[in-house]
Structure 1
Amino acid sequence: MEIKRRDPITGQMTTGHEWNGIEELETPIPRVVIFFLVATTLFSIGYWILMPAWPLGWTYTKGLLGFDQRTTVERQVEQARTQRSAWMSQIEQMDFAAIQADPALMEIVRETGATLYGDNCAVCHGTKGTGGKGFPDLSAGAWLWGGDPETIAETIRVGINSNHDETRVSQMLAFGRDGMLDRSQINDVLAYVRSIGPAGETDAAPEAIARGEESFAANCASCHGEDGKGSHDLGAPDLTDANWIYGGDTQSLHTTVYSGRQGHMPNWEGRLSEPDRKILALYVLSLSKDAQ
């Protein structure tokens, strides 16, 4: 039989249990614990009565308050749809200049545009628009077809070398593969192109640069311009800046001249509405402005 006794050190009664000479004190549960147990129990009972709580097969207890979270969410979605319809209608009807002059609309453009860009463009151009090999850097401000919002929106609409009937078309010829320039001529052209770059540096001989300039004028200037600054009408890149789609090192440039290039951008007319394309154009344009 277990015999309780008073512990001589703490003055508390023991439970009568002993393990290897160690006795257990009979310590009462703190009142604060009992209080919280009672409070949470009462809260649970009240919640079960007032709110939807218990599943009943095909239905559930509705609660005395009649609270329905699904109805609340549907109402919130409808409110958001109404608000979106209002500003989408504004963006659809206003021109780009008017939208850019409206701070409230531009805040919407930045928020909504970031989502549109992330869903449709980031996979190629990067999350920050900095591009990658074969994909233009949208934050650099170096636009192949022009950097005004109308032109950007049109590029988004029809794409480049896409299956759209009005697609923009651009292709770099394969001057080496197709026999238009031999290896030495390609090297001379590369020497000239590097000499007109932003640093104006090249380790080529002046004679090679001079020969390259002649070959450039005969074969490249029709697209890239006599000064190498490109053409928005043809989508030809500016060769005098530091922005290279496929790389500006000697090997990458040689591959470009020898084998040619033909990039591809899908058209988004069938996937994005006109207001969405306008938002996306303004957002993309803001990437280059933010970078600057």
Structure 2
Amino acid sequence: MSKKEIDEISGVETTGHEWDGIKELNTPMPRWWLWTFYGTIVWAVIYCILYPAIPLINGATPGILGYSSRGELAKNVAAAEEAKAEFVTQIEGMEVGAVLENSELTRFAVAGGESAYKVYCSQCHGAGASGAEGYPNLNDDEWLWGGSIDQIYHTIAHGVRYEADDETRFGEMPAYGEFWERDQINATANYVASLSGLEHDEAYLDEGKTLFEENCAACHGENAGGIAELGAPDLSNAIWLYGGSVEAIAAQIRDPQHGAMPAWQERLGDATVKQLAVYVHSLGGGQ
């Protein structure tokens, strides 16, 4: 039996391995580390037996406990649905305005409406409902089709210019570029710009006012304050859906853009639409 070699400097036994004059010391891992390592192996084996772990072609080994994160999620969702079923049933059976008269239902509807808004509405109106060019801001007091709870509900339920719904909101502005001269469009655009204090050319105001009264007042009102029943916007404030400049206004007169919104009644159900209406109404701009 060969004699153990002891390193002169460290006083530790060597393994007998040597490379380029360097000898390997025999310093095994601490026992606590080894037992911890063995314990993780045992734990891994037990876990593979109890829970889904080993990948297969169409899934994984199920484990004897039959647990799955998807199954757990389904249980949690079912429990949440059961917990809110009573409130949903109440909301379905009442007019949307009556929801606001019940503080408990209002809180529930606002929370549910906010969740639905983030999924279905934020892509167009923004995460904070502040809108963007072509997409209305839902926080202010300007409403194309009216901002009462019933009007908001109708707009969400039946959409805007959504031909598949017979009760959709529908109103269109004619393209005046087809029968007006360029100067007439510019005159009207400058007059409209002047109503909200935008930069404009004073030389166009008289002609623009006459053209507006003869062609535009029927929809936008004599004072250009808009008519919600027609979806005609107020032109006397600083809120502009497609840009607030003479050039942008002229472009809209010449060849107007008309946004559209799908009807959500059939897709989401009446209870969710009512919750959305209550949430939007609660943002601060609801009338």
Aligned to 2:30: 30
Higher mean C-alpha displacement, 3-12 vs 184-193: 3-12
Could you tell me which of 228, 234, 240 is aligned with 1:232?
Answer: 228
Closer, same or farther in 2 for the Cα pair 1:28/1:104, shift >3 Å? farther
**Change beyond 3 A, Cα 1:172–1:35:** same
Match of 1:85 in 2: 85
Write the distance in 2 (CA, Å) between the matches of 1:214 and 1:21: 104
Whether 1:204 and 2:201 are equivalent positions in the alignment is yes
Note the C-alpha offset of 1:62.
5.5
What amino acid is the match of 2:242?
A: Y
The 3 A distance-change label for structure 1 pair 269 and 72 is: closer
Counterparts in 2 of 1:186 and 1:41: CA distance versus 1, 3 Å: closer
Residues 175 and 49 (structure 1 numbering): CA distance in 2 closer, same or farther, change over 3 Å? closer
Gap regions ≥5 residues in structure 1:
none
Q: Is the 8 A contact 2:97 2:150 kept in 1?
A: no
Q: 1:42 to 1:102 in 2, by over 3 A?
A: farther
With the length of structure 1 as denominator, give the TM-score of the two structures.
Answer: 0.83
| Equivalent position to 2:248, from 232, 236, 252 | 252
In the TM superposition, residue 36 of structure 1 has moved relative to its aligned partner by: 0.8
Letter in 1 for 2:189: L
CA RMSD, Structure 1 to Structure 2 (Å): 3.1
Q: Which ranges in structure 2 are unaligned for 5 or more consecutive residues?
A: none
> CA separation in 2, counterparts of 1:56 and 1:157?
46
Moved more, 70-79 or 264-273: 70-79
Q: How many residue pairs are counted as aligned between the two chains? A: 283
1:225-273 superposed Cα distances (whole Å, 9 cap, x missing partner): 1111101111100111222111122222111111234332222222121
Matches within 5 A, 1:42-53: 42-44=42-44, 46-47=46-47
Q: Matched residues in 2 for 1:155 and 1:221: separation?
A: 24
- Cα-to-partner distance string for 1:186-245 (whole Å, 9 max, x where unaligned): 222122111110xx243412x521222222111111111111110111110011122211
Match of 2:15, SS state, is strand
Q: What residue number does 1:270 align with?
A: 266
Deviation at 1:162, TM superposition (A): 1.8
Corresponding position: 1:122 with 2:119: no
Distance 2:273 2:98 in 1: 16
| 1:286 correspondence with 2:286 | no
* Offset at residue 45 of structure 1 (A): 5.2
Q: In the alignment, is the contact (CA less than 8 A) between 1:194 and 1:202 conserved in 2?
A: yes
The answer (yes or no) to whether the contact 1:128–1:287 under 8 Å persists in 2 is no
Q: Give the C-alpha shift of residue 183 in structure 1.
A: 2.1
Bigger CA drift: 41-50 or 276-285? 41-50
Match of 1:5? 5
TM-score (norm 2): 0.84
- Dislocated runs of 4+, deviation >6 Å: 52-59
Aligned to 1:175: 176
Post-superposition offset of 1:95: 4.1
What is the CA distance between 1:61 and its match in structure 2?
A: 7.4
CA distance in 2, matches of 1:226, 1:52: 71
Higher alpha-carbon deviation: 212-221 or 129-138: 129-138
In the alignment, which residue of structure 2 is the partner of 1:148?
148
Q: Aligned equivalents of 1:235 and 1:31: distance in 2?
A: 80
Residue of structure 2 in register with 1:219 after alignment? 215
Q: Does structure 1 residue 112 correspond to structure 2 residue 112?
A: yes
Structure 1 residue 144: Cα displacement: 0.4
